[in-house]
Amino acid sequence: VNAFEYVRATSWEEAQRALAEGGPGALAKASGIDLIDRMKEGLDAPGRLVSTLSIPGSDAIEVGKSGAVVVGANATLTAMAEAAELARRFPALVEAAGTAANPNVRNGATLAGNLCQRPRCHYYRSLLHPCLRKGGGTCYAQAGENATHALFDNRGCAAVTASSMAIPLVALGAKARVRGADGVSRELPLADLFVPASEDLRREVRLGPTELIEAVVLDGPELRSAYGKVRPRESFDWPIVEAAVAVRSEGGRVADARIVLGAVAMVPWRAKDAEAALVGTSGDADTRALAVARALAGAEPLSGNGHKVDIARALVGRLLTRVFDRRSP
């Protein structure tokens, strides 16, 4: 690991100032599970780390007067998994937080760090492979080992988003509260935070070098929701495929349906054809089967990841059954 300066910020304002003063070599650090790994692997060599963990209240999970739940950037996955209000209203989020990685990782991993972690593609993580996403001339996954790679938007870089938290949060219509370079906080749909592979290969989230996520806000209508994943080993592995389903019904008919797939693209992937199949129906078994059949519409498997299509379809089917059996959020 390179030598670096370490700044412990006590406010978001101070963190942002320290990042600006540190120049292009300064990076925000939450628990460092991803960032310190990247430094140890030689992928990043920041001259200054700005810790946000020392900002008082940045890990709070609070319910506002309007009923919106505000999850602080530094809330850990464990804290989210154990928050009663989240469990009651947003079960998909709690299911994702409680099953990501392993208990040790969950005890440290923060929400913002999870959303902003860099890809897990093994070529990306290897110094021996100067691939497209690192400014090189080729994507090694195209003709190489691509079993864990993307099914959609995968002809340039085929890496997938690493964030499990993003999947239910997009399904639940969450917003990211981002402190802009001008020091003003704004809220943007979390779905808009993520950058498709075909748009920009050099970053995964739409944040400038001094912009920071302060919190994630859940203020949308209440939805019945469920999250699930399939992974090689249940104890700690990254998912082969993960998914979240969120549904709102009115008068026995589906008024709003979101089906979001994870580990299939660089962004949380909305299965819009499948969502459309559900809207206006009662969510009966035939409709659910149609939604499952459409869930992977447009998928373009690479040489070694076709298995993800069947796994994702089966997972969506299971989640739809759970969500339609669930009477309340």
Ligand X SMILES: Cc1cc2nc3c(=O)[nH]c(=O)nc-3n(C[C@H](O)[C@H](O)[C@H](O)COP(=O)(O)OP(=O)(O)OC[C@H]3O[C@@H](n4cnc5c(N)ncnc54)[C@H](O)[C@@H]3O)c2cc1C
Binding site for ligand X (CB under 6 A): 27-35, 52, 73, 100-101, 105, 108-110, 112-114, 116-117, 162-165, 207, 212-213, 236, 238-239
Please say whether the beta carbons of 302 and 158 come within 8 A: yes
Q: Please say which residue, 192 or 236, places its beta carbon nearer to ligand X.
A: 236
Residue 267 contacts ligand SF4 per CB under 6 A: no
Q: Which does 16 bind (CB under 5 to 8 A by kind): ligand X, ligand SF4, none?
A: none
Please say whether the beta carbons of 48 and 35 come within 8 A: no
CB of 142 to ligand SF4, least distance (A): 7
- Contact with ligand SF4 (CB under 6 A) among 90, 123, 227, 269: 123
CB of 30 to ligand SF4, least distance (A): 22
Which tokens go with 60? 């709070």
Q: Please say which residue, 110 or 225, places its beta carbon nearer to ligand X.
A: 110
Please say whether the beta carbons of 227 and 95 come within 8 A: yes
Q: Please say which residue, 149 or 308, places its beta carbon nearer to ligand SF4.
A: 149
CB of 236 to ligand X, least distance (A): 5
- Contact with ligand SF4 (CB under 6 A) among 7, 71, 121, 243: 121
Residue with tokens 């110094």: 127
User: How far is the C-alpha of 285 from the C-alpha of 325, rounded, in Å?
Assistant: 11
CB of 153 to ligand SF4, least distance (A): 11
Residue 119 contacts ligand SF4 per CB under 6 A: yes
What is the CB neighbour count within 10 angstroms for residue 87? 17
User: How far is the C-alpha of 312 from the C-alpha of 272, rounded, in Å?
Assistant: 15
CB of 37 to ligand X, least distance (A): 7
One character per residue 131-150, x = contact with ligand SF4 (rule: CB under 6 A): xxx-----xxx-------x-
Closest C-alpha to 237, from 102, 43, 72: 102
Q: For residue 175, list its beta bridge partners.
A: 189, 217
CB of 125 to ligand SF4, least distance (A): 9
Which tokens go with 53? 């963990």
For 297, left (φ over 0), alpha (ψ -120 to 50), or beta?
beta
User: How far is the C-alpha of 213 from the C-alpha of 205, rounded, in Å?
Assistant: 11
Binding site for ligand SF4 (CB under 6 A): 119, 121, 123-124, 131-133, 139-141, 149, 157-159
